[in-house]
Amino acid sequence: MIGITCYARGGHRESFYVPTEYVDAIRLAGGAPMLLPPIEGEADVLEALDALVLPGGGDIDPVHYGDDDYHPSNYDVSPERDAFELALVRAAVRRPGLPLLCICRGMQVLNVALGGDLVQHVPDRFGERVLHRDPERKPVEHPVRLEAGSQIARLVGSTNLVVRSFHHQAVDRLGEGLRPVAWAEDGVIEAVEHVARPWVIALQWHPEHAAVRDARARELFDAFVAAAAAQGNPAPLRAAR
């Protein structure tokens, strides 16, 4: 049972939702996705889960990392989602063995929850030599370099990748227990791992975009769901491929 936190409420008829790529990537890897809207009792929710995914979405309110300068590029800030995910990830990290996969905003939430902070707008710090998001707020592709020997490099089978990203913020000061393991050519940190937890992994890029159509891209999700199954159920569900 894999929990996936929801995007902020929105739409003509307000809804909580998750882009289908996250759900399909988990299903194809043999997991059963459970969508998690913001609720109280975060630690209780974790008792029903074998793993947790923190997906992408809007920006974190900078008040959560002590920054009073609200950058004009910030968008879709949701106090409700911030409060829920920050509390949830702190509880998840305290739960021994719970696999945690954080993607894009999720990586930033993990870092802030553990005491780190963010670069509010990447071009202000790193320039525009590497585009991490199209000016019209569309995904882009760019290369990243992974640390040899990192868990992510082992899972994807390479130390060099071309990734699909869609972000304008980035990890700055690292949260407690985190170490960087991947970088873009401009120096932006593209992935972190927890020094004491083998399955607390965070990526700034979007592996779910390719997971449905690319078997190699699914390897990360296959390993994640297998780690979840090892925590609780004797064998994962198997979705039709």
Residues taking part in catalysis: 104, 206, 208
Calculated CA dihedral for residues 169, 193, 95, 230, nearest 10 degrees: 120
Three-state DSSP at 178 gives: strand
User: Within a 13 Å sphere around the CA of 84, how many CA atoms are in the beta-carbon half?
Assistant: 21
Burial class (CB in 10 A: 0-12, 13-18, 19+), 113: buried
DSSP bridge partners of 145: 160, 183
- In residues, how long is the chain? 241
CA separation for the pair 210, 216 (Å, rounded): 9
Task: For residues 209 and 224, give the distance between their C-alpha atoms in angstroms, rounded to a whole number.
Answer: 16
